[in-house]
Amino acid sequence: MLVGKDEQLFVVHRTTISDNSAFFEAAVSACWMDGNSKVVKLPETDTQEFEVYVHWVYTHDIDMTFMAEPSQATAPSWLNLSKIWILARYLQDMRLCNQVIDLCLEKLPRVPGFTITHTTLQYAWEHTMTDSPLRRLFTNIMVANVSVRRLDEYGHEYPFEIILSMAREFAGRNQAVPEVPKNEDRCRYHIHEDGVEKCS
């Protein structure tokens, strides 16, 4: 693999990468069929994010230290988790998408008033589709936690699309006080392929 604008070389086993990613399964098959050099290029992909991905492919462990600042080594930022989810979705590695969602739910503090920064929300909304489970999770976190005071202070920094998503979610709730998403709710934010059972 040649990753990033500088085309950093990553050497991976064809079977290993293909077994995890439908994107690579198709890309590698096309290279073999065309008799090309068996190199897949990802010029728009960040090399640090891809290091996290390669580690995942071989270990099924998410090691965020490849892209974390020292202070984030044990507690990955919401922005970095978003980036890995978005990369996994692009590479069609649904198992990794779901593992990142689980990490988000484990990381979510159970304290009133916690919100995700507008920088992270903006990045997530710019790089995901309207029906994205990541958007759904972040919207539910914000609806359950954001205060009127915080909206008054920082609402102008949120893109309109995010405010609209929050309004839709809040309007559709049956309960007066929305609950913070919990680990038991993870299935709502997972991607389930056809024929695959929902989380138990």
pLDDT at 176 over 80: no
pLDDT at 95 over 80: yes
Which tokens hold the place of 176?
């007066």
Question: Could you tell me if 135 and 125 are in contact, meaning their C-beta atoms sit under 8 angstroms apart?
Answer: yes
Quickly count helices (H) and strands (E) in the chain: 9, 3
Sequence ranges of the domains in the chain: 114-200
Cα–Cα distance for residue pair 35/167, rounded to 1 Å: 52
Write down the pTM of the prediction: 0.84
Average pLDDT over residues 144-157: 83
Q: How confident is the model at residue 37 (pLDDT cuts 50, 70, 90)?
A: low
Phi first, then psi, for residue 189 (nearest 5°) are: -115, 5
The one-letter code for the residue type at 94 is M
Which tokens hold the place of 128?
């995901």
Coil, strand or helix: which one is 9? strand
**pLDDT 10s digits, 63-83:** 988 886 555 555 788 999 999
Task: Give the rounded percent of residues in the chain with a pLDDT score beyond 70.
Answer: 85
Tell me, what's the pLDDT at 180?
A: 78
Cα–Cα distance for residue pair 35/108, rounded to 1 Å: 48
Question: Could you tell me if 92 and 177 are in contact, meaning their C-beta atoms sit under 8 angstroms apart?
Answer: no
Tell me, what's the pLDDT at 33?
A: 46
Tell me, what's the pLDDT at 155?
A: 81
